[in-house]
Amino acid sequence: MTISQDIKRISHWVNGSITPSTSGRHGNVFNPATGEVQAHVDFASTEELDHVIEVAKQAFKTWRNTPLSKRADILFKFRDLVDRNRLELARLLTAEHGKVTSDALGEIARGLENVEFACGIPNLLKGNYSEQASTGVDVYSIPQPLGVVAGITPFNFPAMVPMWMFANAIGCGNTFILKPSEKDPSASLFMADLLKQAGLPDGVFNVIHGDKLAVDHLLSHKDIAAVSFVGSTPIAQYVYETGTKHGKRVQALGGAKNHMLVLPDADVNMAADAAVSAAYGSAGERCMAISVVVAVGGVGDQLIEAISERLPKLKVGPGNDPQNEMGPLITREHRDKVASYIAGAADQGATLVVDGRKTEVPGNGFFLGVSLIDHVTSDMACYKDEIFGPVLCVVRADTYEEGLGLINDNPYGNGTAIFTRDGGAARKFQFECNAGMVGVNVPIPVPVAYYSFGGWKASLFGDTHMYGPDGIKFFTRTKVVTSRWPDPSTSKVDLGFPQTR
């Protein structure tokens, strides 16, 4: 493919500056609200990947020596710069992802929480110290950085998910290579520039754009110590298996099918508000979106009615118009795939209560209205697959046990929620459900930054969750030192195995 001179070009960020690719390969970046190609993003060659890894490797030598107070100072300054540039960053998110501005600002706020957490890096990197573990012997642990680490991120949170990763990674003293989604790559460059303005030395944070070629090279390169990945389950599994086969530490977060269990005693209006917000916010393109409501006992009819009443009021249109609440989907192909699940559900015998295909938005944007599908059963494709669009399926269950069974039998286990006024039922649910993040009357239970984020089952491959305390663990390795300052008067040869005395 030749690169047109007329169209905006999005290039890599290497060693502190924009670095155009010479690979001759690129991808299209669409404006999902108009359907137009608005930019071309460079795709890296293996030589360019080797170069950026070498840059990050050299930068590590000095960065790991940089005092904790200096690292914290840079993170504080970065936090302040993002704060002051929220609207500009949100504008980029809306332009390339399509989400409405208010949602983009929410993404930035949740991403910033992770930077704020990492500002406490001097405290987070304290080791342990045991004085007099044996006579005259002290033992202490030191968390140390890994070296060059990589982050590979999905299209749906182009600012927040990178912040989940790089704030802790660089705070811990690693150097970082971000391979953002090729569908909305500009936010990563904006953040790279703010990091530089905050005083981050060149080479500590780099952005390399690309496709499978770039991911595969990062997964196999000897100088990449760890890979943090967020994306769909098949790719997460592939990244985990390939990266670990090459001896790397890998955490790979995958897709989801989040169920919201509504018990008969729940406040129906509150449950309906929560279901609508969590199913259709960001056009359903959130890994913590509610895609299935399980209505227990007799609550189903009331709930369907309450949800249906709310849907005609939702405003769908371009994300940069403040009156709109839901923007387009990311690509035309994805929009059409989501629509095919709606058609398939009707063919398989479900009831189409609201059909989003009927919503019309002028122009050629990738819009799809909201859909509500009732009487869904667990054998239908719309139930089994992660649709990742504005489609809410409702499954009827006679009992709590039947509803819980659906959640626990599902291959995914990212988030789940229960809506009830019965504290005992909620406690039983949190004890029994197989999911990594649980909401009690909270539909999108994304943990605050000082906890960690992660699903179970096919929603996460690896041992550590993302950000928070697990993030610090992932981006460091611990060294334990056993130390004695011998008193020369007691020194003697002893070939026995060392024991505490």
Residues labelled catalytic: 287
Token representation of residue 191: 């953040």
Q: Residue 140 CB, nearest distance to ligand NAD (Å)?
A: 35
Element containing residue 81 per DSSP (H, E)? helix 68-84
In the bound state with ligand NAD, the residue whose beta carbon lies nearer, of 179 and 396, is 179
In the bound state with ligand NAD, the residue whose beta carbon lies nearer, of 230 and 261, is 230
Instruction: Give the angle subtended at the CA of 37 by the CAs of 34 and 42, to the nearest 5°.
Output: 145
* In contact, 8 and 15? CB cutoff 8 Å: no
* Candidate residues 52, 215, 376, 380; the one interacting with ligand NAD per rule CB under 6 A: 215
> Which residues, numbered 315-374, are part of the site for ligand NAD (CB under 6 A)?
none
Q: Residue 193 CB, nearest distance to ligand NAD (Å)?
A: 20
* Candidate residues 104, 195, 276, 287; the one interacting with ligand NAD per rule CB under 6 A: 287
Q: Residue 292 CB, nearest distance to ligand NAD (Å)?
A: 14
Q: Residue 183 CB, nearest distance to ligand NAD (Å)?
A: 7
User: Which DSSP string do the residues of 177-231 spell out, in sequence order?
Assistant: EEE--TTS-HHHHHHHHHHHHTTPPTTSEEE---SHHHHHHHHH-TTEEEEEEES
In the bound state with ligand NAD, the residue whose beta carbon lies nearer, of 231 and 445, is 231
Instruction: Give the sign of the dihedral formed by CA 321, CA 318, CA 153, CA 412.
Output: positive
Contacts of 496 (CB under 8 A, 6+ apart): none
Q: Residue 135 CB, nearest distance to ligand NAD (Å)?
A: 49
In the bound state with ligand NAD, the residue whose beta carbon lies nearer, of 310 and 332, is 332
In the bound state with ligand NAD, the residue whose beta carbon lies nearer, of 371 and 414, is 414
Q: Determine the interface stretch with ligand NAD among 106-114, 165-173, 228-236, 305-313 (rule: CB under 6 A).
A: 228-236
Q: How many CA atoms lie within 13 A of 143 on its CB side?
A: 23
Token representation of residue 1: 């493919």
Counting contacts by CB under 6 A, is residue 232 touching ligand NAD? yes
* Candidate residues 84, 126, 212, 427; the one interacting with ligand NAD per rule CB under 6 A: 212
* Candidate residues 10, 55, 256, 458; the one interacting with ligand NAD per rule CB under 6 A: 256
What is residue 326's DSSP assignment?
B
Mask of contacts with ligand NAD, 437-476, x by CB under 6 A? ------------------x---x-----------------
Element containing residue 423 per DSSP (H, E)? helix 423-432
Counting contacts by CB under 6 A, is residue 255 touching ligand NAD? yes
> Which residues, numbered 378-417, are part of the site for ligand NAD (CB under 6 A)?
386, 388, 414
Token representation of residue 439: 């909401």
* In contact, 249 and 474? CB cutoff 8 Å: yes
Exposed e or buried b for every residue in 347-368, given b needs 16+ CB within 10 A?
eeebebbbbbeebebeeebbbb
Measured distance CA(69)–CA(65) in Å, rounded: 11
> Which residues, numbered 116-175, are part of the site for ligand NAD (CB under 6 A)?
152-157, 161
* Candidate residues 235, 261, 275, 290; the one interacting with ligand NAD per rule CB under 6 A: 235
Contacts of 302 (CB under 8 A, 6+ apart): 268
Inter-CA distances, 100 with 54, 342, 390, 468, Å = 39, 24, 14, 27
Q: Determine the interface stretch with ligand NAD among 6-14, 62-70, 108-116, 177-185 (rule: CB under 6 A).
A: 177-185
Number of residues that bind ligand NAD (CB under 6 A): 27
Q: Residue 319 CB, nearest distance to ligand NAD (Å)?
A: 18
Measured distance CA(222)–CA(242) in Å, rounded: 13
Q: Determine the interface stretch with ligand NAD among 28-36, 229-237, 313-321, 490-498 (rule: CB under 6 A).
A: 229-237
Q: Residue 156 CB, nearest distance to ligand NAD (Å)?
A: 5
Q: CA nearest 176: which of 198, 154, 144, 208?
A: 208
Q: Which residues bind ligand NAD (CB under 6 A)?
A: 152-157, 161, 179, 181-182, 211-212, 215, 230-232, 235, 253-256, 287, 386, 388, 414, 455, 459
